[in-house]
Amino acid sequence: MSGDHVDVPVAARVRRLEARLVAAGLVTDEQLDGILEQHLYRATPFNGARTVARAWVDDAFRELLLTDANAALEQLGLGGLLAPDEHLSVVANTAEVHNVIVCTLCSCYPLLLLGPSPSWYRSDAYRSRVVRDPHGVLEEFGFHVPPGTAVRVWDATAEARYMVLPRRPEATGHLDEEGLRALVTRSGLLGTAGV
Ligand code: FE
């Protein structure tokens, strides 16, 4: 920032921009409020959990989710959750590979699928260490990577976001899709927990 913008808080700069858009007749305050409300109301890890549970019970959906996540979300009625230029990749945990998500540059994150990001995800410590020592970091989260399972770290950017598809826990054959959704946590969707 330079000139008269120095030291002006972000909220004040945003308000100034909003006022100019409104003054120019490009948008109304009511429209801006509506957009924000709709956006934030919909940002919850329940969206991610719902997606995972469907993939656990529907092989065709799982296949689509892993090859074209944007299309899969569309199918689930969650298409509006991604920005037009936001590409989501869903990476599946297997017996061989456990996936974990980070943004080493800042804190890119699929907000609308996972809800607000946890503070540790935005911390310097996590962002720098998970790349160098993923096993050590996961241990600190209380997640023990099974012997013989490799850890793959995915570095998100503004355009490329990631979500983990955890493995369906054993002995959950009796659960329906709704019951399965309840098992999925935000940490599981980021890969710092098993599910
Ligand atoms: Fe980022």
pLDDT of residue 35: 80
Same domain as 71, residue 11: no
CA atoms within 13 A on the CB side of 24: 8
Is 115 in contact with 188 (CB distance < 8 Å)? no
Strands (E), the chain: 87-92, 97-102, 150-155, 160-165
* 193 alpha carbon – ligand 1 mean position (Å): 21
Helix (H) or strand (E) holding 114: helix 111-114
Residue 195 lies in a domain: no
Q: How far is CA 193 from CA 20, 50, 145, 175, in A?
A: 45, 17, 10, 20
Residue 24 has pLDDT above 80, yes or no: yes
* 179 alpha carbon – ligand 1 mean position (Å): 33
Q: Confidence band (pLDDT; 50, 70, 90) for 5?
A: low
Same domain as 126, residue 30: no
> What does the block give as tokens for 1?
């920032």
Interstrand relation of 150-155 and 87-92 (parallel, antiparallel or unpaired): unpaired
* 171 alpha carbon – ligand 1 mean position (Å): 37
Convert the pLDDT of each residue in 66-86 to its tens digit.
999 999 999 998 887 777 778
Mean of per-residue pLDDT scores for the chain:
91
Same domain as 149, residue 129: yes
Same domain as 130, residue 60: yes
Rounded CA separation 133/118 (Å): 20
* 83 alpha carbon – ligand 1 mean position (Å): 15
* 57 alpha carbon – ligand 1 mean position (Å): 32
Residue 4 has pLDDT above 60, yes or no: no
Residue 106 lies in a domain: yes
Convert the pLDDT of each residue in 130-175 to its tens digit.
999 999 999 999 999 999 999 999 999 888 899 999 999 999 999 9
Count of structural domains within the chain? 2
Its domain, for residue 33, covers 3-41
* 51 alpha carbon – ligand 1 mean position (Å): 23
Same domain as 136, residue 83: yes
Catalytic positions are 103, 106-108
Same domain as 34, residue 107: no
Better-predicted residue by pLDDT, 129 or 29: 129
Share of the chain above pLDDT 70, in %: 96
Same domain as 152, residue 134: yes
Average pLDDT (5-34) is 86
Q: Looking at this protein, which amino acid is placed at residue 61? A: F
pLDDT of residue 111: 87
CATH for 74? 3.90.330.10
Residue 27 lies in a domain: yes
Same domain as 86, residue 11: no
Rounded (5°) CA angle 143-109-152: 45
Same domain as 53, residue 25: no
Convert the pLDDT of each residue in 163-191 to its tens digit.
999 999 999 999 999 999 999 999 999 99
Same domain as 134, residue 119: yes
Same domain as 133, residue 105: yes
Same domain as 151, residue 116: yes
Q: What is the pTM of this model?
A: 0.84
Average pLDDT (21-31) is 91
pLDDT of residue 6: 61
Q: How far is CA 12 from the centre of its chain?
A: 28
pLDDT of residue 2: 46
Is 122 in contact with 114 (CB distance < 8 Å)? no
